[in-house]
Every structure is written in C-alpha cells, then in structure tokens.
Amino acid sequence: MVVALVVTTQVLSAQTPMKPTAPGTAGDPQWQGVVRLSDGRSFITDGGIAIDTAFAKPVTLPAKEIPGKVMETYLNAAHKDEYGFGDLTPVATGKTYMTPAGIPLSATYINYLRRILPASTRFRVGGELQPVGIVANGQVVGVLMPVRK
C-alpha cells in the first residue's frame, strides 16, 4: 500500500495540476484533459470530475493527454457507501448536495450528471476526501471529487 501511495504521489506531482474551471454553457464542465484507459475507454476531465466520453459526448477532445493509471486506481477503489441521486440532499446555498454520510458534492457537477446519465446512476463513496465513483448501467463511468468542507 505504501508503494502504491508513493507511486501515485510521484505520478500526480509529475503532472501539471488542473484546477476545475467555472462551468460553461448550461453548467457543463470546461474540459481540460483526456485520459485514455487500458480498456480502450476515454475519459475527459476538468480537474474536479472525470467522465467517460461515451456519456459526456464532447464535440472535441482536449489536446492535453493525461496518463490513465491513476484514473484506473480511482475507478476500482473500495467504497463503504453507495447512493443514488434521490439520496442526495441540496444545501440551502444551492452550491452543494450532501450525501447521507455528510460528504458535500458540487451541485454544478451533480446537476450536469443528472442531465447526461440515467436516473439509476449510483455514487460510490469511500470517505470524506476520496474520489467518488460514478456508476451507470452497472459500470464505473466517472469519478467526482468531493467538495472540501
């Protein structure tokens, strides 16, 4: 586990970090990079969310390519809770939704996912600052970073 943590840290520090940008038209993320996985799928990311291009259907892919090894680790991460859209509670500010475990998720991202994914979509939550797996049609199709409290 220590080796995995060290390797992940080295990979992440070697990349130019992305900062999520303000959403574009209709609240869609401003895609900054593409991640190609070993199974042939491609994901796009803005730094706070990554989603399979088969669901996001971008007109064009970003030019920046990001190694897929870390993403594959996130997609296969263990989780202790799983929730659906109906389990999320909007916060009064309108900026986040809370999971039943009290983990805040960006309202911008959740609203975007409601538009592009089936209503049966699930969110696999491991912990407060761990990436949240996005599951549609029985497959993990994305990763969402929780909002820091």
What pLDDT digit, counting tens, does each position of 99-108 carry?
999 999 999 9
pLDDT at 28: 80
pLDDT at 14: 45
pLDDT at 129: 85
Q: Which residue has the higher pLDDT, 13 or 140?
A: 140
Task: Classify residue 51 by burial, with Cβ atoms within 10 Å: 0-12, 13-18, 19+.
Answer: buried
Sheet holding 122-125, edge to edge: 65-66, 33-36, 42-45, 49-52, 139-144, 132-136, 122-125, 81-84
Percent with pLDDT over 90 in the chain: 71
